[in-house]
């Protein structure tokens, strides 16, 4: 890898980061969505990454949340502020250090393995190059070299030593071909992304109250996205992984990339990735002023949904508005809140995923992050001792439902207290509206209870326990811990 020590600094002649970078220009490119999906599939095909995703990731149950967090992280890493970049790199390293274990064939995986991290960066770079080529607008050699240097700088910013990603672009392509030919497999995570994620993709919060419209659109878009992605993968890998060869798939793939390329000429305000994802993340009860503009559109979409139901009725689904403050059954609470990874069991990775989301929302530093993880670990030990009746190291939905537990034990109370301390950034023993928004920013649509718009420690802890132990729907916590 090239030395990016001084050149990676903001404002450097190399322009590796910030608005002058090639990556920054790609970030709001509609083709980037196709490239990211393709890169994710190639990452998941690596045995170590695939195993880490299966054991630890919430990409199946909370894909929109995962997408939003990924985009925020990339913006921090490729922005102009070196301090922000270093802070984000440290956060990513702490997070990845927690992902290790063995797969179903007892092969070890470690998200901090430098070769694995290099492959993640390699897939992003190669998929960016491929998206341009497939859309009929290939990168010229100089631009390709610049983009490769930027991704090398990204890996260097994470603290990885040179050598695991080839030093030159000329050396990269043999490395990439070797990885595809020798390392990639048809992993379980790859098949979930291609054939389960898009076919069962939950609606983003903004469209959560329109299940019929969403289901109808997903039924068409899901298989199409999967087909386009498979057709764009390297042919030797498709053959080895047993991925289907669908007639017309390559035509559909080229059409999708060309159409996305043409969409780049739409007004800039329509294409800004952070604005689009923020809109999708709006809950129907949000106080965001943009929601008023979307109310009429939602009404029209509901009318469209009614027409769809006349043609092809779907099972009735309860919306967030209809749920209000009603209680969930034990089975619903287990599936919606506790089972964050979607594997049907409550294990430590599920509670770690909750801690990870809370730490990300609040952008905690290392000491505060460690305290929150430790509190969740203590809660996991408490739950395991109370609910794991067969001693297999995990809690099934049946074990949870049979126990009808009251989860408000000492460890859960401690989780609530540590979360309060993390959210109370000014240490005044109350949470004001700004601090509350930092935690509940996608679902903050109510006035904070308490004097002068503040929430006391006891009120905050009480709300958290009422949600976690009482299994009640919550305007604030539903988007945070059950939001997609």
The contacts of residue 325 (CB under 8 Å, 6+ apart) are: 472, 473, 474
Do 356 and 223 belong together in one domain? no
Do 247 and 380 belong together in one domain? no
Instruction: Give the end of a domain, one of 262, 289, 308.
Output: 262
Do 360 and 248 belong together in one domain? no
Candidate from 241-255, 276-290, 357-371 with smallest mean pLDDT: 276-290
pLDDT digits (tens, 9 = 90+) for 121-168: 999 999 999 999 999 999 999 999 999 999 999 999 999 988 899 999
Do 205 and 337 belong together in one domain? no
Decide if 423 contacts 439 (C-beta within 8 A).
yes
In a domain, 1, yes or no: no
Task: Give the C-alpha separation, 59 to 456, whole Å.
Answer: 34
Task: Give the C-alpha separation, 124 to 18, whole Å.
Answer: 18
Give me the residues paired with residue 109 across strands. 101
Q: Give SS3 for 121.
A: helix
pLDDT digits (tens, 9 = 90+) for 213-248: 777 778 888 889 999 999 999 999 999 999 988 999
In a domain, 6, yes or no: no
In a domain, 174, yes or no: yes
Candidate from 104-118, 180-194, 402-416, 435-449 with smallest mean pLDDT: 435-449
pLDDT digits (tens, 9 = 90+) for 58-70: 877 888 788 788 8
The mean pLDDT value of the chain amounts to 82
Task: Give the C-alpha separation, 163 to 118, whole Å.
Answer: 9
What is the distance between the terminal CA atoms of the chain, rounded to a whole angstrom?
37
Do 120 and 239 belong together in one domain? yes
pLDDT band at 113 (very low <50, low <70, confident <90, very high): very high
Instruction: Give the end of a domain, one of 211, 239, 262.
Output: 262
Q: Is the pLDDT of residue 278 over 90?
A: no
Q: Which of 123-132, 428-437, 460-469 has the highest mean pLDDT?
A: 123-132
Half-sphere exposure (Cβ direction) of 265: Cα atoms closer than 13 Å: 4
> CA of 181: how far to CAs of 88, 155, 240, 454, in Å?
33, 23, 9, 58
In a domain, 376, yes or no: yes
pLDDT band at 423 (very low <50, low <70, confident <90, very high): very high
Identify the pLDDT of residue 3: 38
Structural domain including 184 reads 22-262
Q: Is the pLDDT of residue 314 over 80?
A: no
User: 10 Å Cβ neighbour count for 311?
Assistant: 7
Q: Is the pLDDT of residue 177 over 80?
A: yes
Identify the pLDDT of residue 317: 45
Residue of 166, 171, 169 lying closest to 139 (CA atoms): 169
Do 348 and 256 belong together in one domain? no
> CA of 133: how far to CAs of 126, 148, 174, 227, 258, in Å?
11, 16, 18, 18, 10
pLDDT band at 52 (very low <50, low <70, confident <90, very high): very high
Q: What percent of the chain has pLDDT over 90?
A: 49
The contacts of residue 353 (CB under 8 Å, 6+ apart) are: 56, 57, 58, 340, 341
pLDDT band at 448 (very low <50, low <70, confident <90, very high): very low
Identify the pLDDT of residue 64: 77
Do 36 and 174 belong together in one domain? yes
Q: Which of 56-65, 89-98, 447-456 has the highest mean pLDDT?
A: 89-98
Residue 348 belongs to domain with CATH number = 1.10.238.10
Number of domains in the chain: 2
Identify the pLDDT of residue 218: 80
Task: Give the C-alpha separation, 35 to 167, whole Å.
Answer: 23
Do 148 and 235 belong together in one domain? yes
Token look-up 């969740």 returns 376
pLDDT digits (tens, 9 = 90+) for 23-41: 888 887 888 889 999 999 9
> Can you tell me the mean pLDDT for 2-20?
52
Decide if 137 contacts 261 (C-beta within 8 A).
yes
In a domain, 117, yes or no: yes
In a domain, 61, yes or no: yes
Decide if 417 contacts 408 (C-beta within 8 A).
no
Task: Give the C-alpha separation, 86 to 63, whole Å.
Answer: 26
Task: Give the C-alpha separation, 76 to 23, whole Å.
Answer: 13
pLDDT digits (tens, 9 = 90+) for 180-207: 999 999 999 999 999 888 777 777 666 6
In a domain, 298, yes or no: no
Do 351 and 244 belong together in one domain? no
In a domain, 460, yes or no: yes
Do 251 and 369 belong together in one domain? no
Q: Is the pLDDT of residue 329 over 60?
A: yes
Identify the pLDDT of residue 202: 72
Do 119 and 240 belong together in one domain? yes
Q: Is the pLDDT of residue 482 over 80?
A: no
Overall pTM surpassing 0.75 (yes/no): yes
Cα dihedral sign for 393, 396, 398, 401?
Answer: positive
The alpha helices in 45-140, defined as continuous H runs, are 47-56, 63-78, 82-97, 114-134
Decide if 186 contacts 45 (C-beta within 8 A).
yes
Identify the pLDDT of residue 11: 36
User: 10 Å Cβ neighbour count for 220?
Assistant: 9
Do 456 and 349 belong together in one domain? yes
Instruction: Give the end of a domain, one of 240, 262, 284.
Output: 262
Q: Is the pLDDT of residue 454 over 90?
A: no
């Amino acid at each position: 890898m090239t030395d990016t020590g001084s050149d990676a600094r903001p404002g450097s002649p190399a322009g590796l980061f910030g608005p002058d970078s090639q990556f920054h220009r790609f970030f709001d490119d509609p083709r980037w969505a196709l490239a990211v999906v393709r890169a994710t599939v190639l990452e998941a095909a690596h045995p170590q990454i695939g195993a880490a995703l299966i054991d630890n990731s919430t990409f199946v149950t909370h894909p929109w949340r995962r997408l939003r967090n990924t985009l925020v992280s990339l913006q921090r890493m490729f922005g102009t502020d070196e301090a922000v970049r270093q802070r984000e790199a440290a956060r990513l390293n702490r997070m990845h250090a927690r992902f290790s274990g063995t797969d179903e064939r007892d092969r070890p995986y470690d998200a901090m393995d430098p070769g694995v991290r290099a492959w993640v960066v390699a897939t992003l770079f190669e998929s960016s190059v491929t998206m341009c080529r497939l859309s009929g607008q290939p990168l010229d050699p100089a631009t390709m070299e610049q983009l490769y240097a930027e991704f090398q700088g990204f890996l260097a910013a994470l603290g990885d030593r040179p050598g695991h990603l080839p030093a030159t672009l000329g050396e990269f392509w043999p490395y990439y071909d070797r990885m595809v030919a020798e390392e990639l497999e048809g992993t379980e995570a790859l098949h979930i992304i291609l054939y389960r994620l898009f076919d069962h993709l939950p609606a983003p919060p903004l469209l959560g109250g329109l299940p019929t419209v969403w289901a109808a659109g997903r039924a068409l878009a899901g298989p199409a996205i999967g087909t386009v992605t498979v057709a764009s993968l390297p042919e030797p890998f498709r053959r080895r992984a047993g991925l289907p060869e669908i007639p017309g798939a390559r035509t559909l793939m080229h059409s999708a990339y060309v159409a996305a390329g043409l969409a780049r000429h739409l007004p800039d305000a329509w294409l800004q990735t952070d604005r689009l994802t923020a809109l999708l993340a709006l809950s129907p009860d949000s106080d965001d002023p943009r929601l008023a503009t979307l109310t009429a559109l939602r009404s029209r979409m509901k009318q469209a949904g009614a027409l769809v139901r006349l043609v092809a009725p779907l099972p009735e689904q309860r919306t967030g508005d209809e749920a209000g403050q009603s209680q969930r059954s034990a089975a619903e609470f287990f599936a919606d809140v506790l089972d964050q990874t979607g594997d049907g069991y409550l294990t430590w990775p599920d509670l770690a995923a909750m801690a990870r989301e809370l730490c990300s929302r609040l952008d905690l530093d290392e000491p505060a992050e460690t305290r929150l993880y430790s509190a969740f670990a203590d809660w996991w030990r408490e739950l395991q001792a109370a609910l794991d009746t067969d001693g297999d190291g995990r809690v099934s939905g049946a074990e949870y439902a049979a126990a009808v537990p009251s989860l408000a034990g000492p460890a859960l109370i401690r989780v609530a207290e540590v979360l309060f301390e993390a959210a109370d950034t000014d240490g005044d023993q109350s949470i004001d509206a700004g601090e509350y928004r930092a935690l509940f920013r996608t679902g903050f649509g109510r006035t904070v209870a308490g004097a002068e718009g503040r929430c006391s420690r006891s009120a905050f802890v009480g709300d958290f326990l009422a949600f976690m132990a009482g299994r009640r729907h919550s305007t604030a916590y539903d988007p945070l811990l059950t939001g997609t």
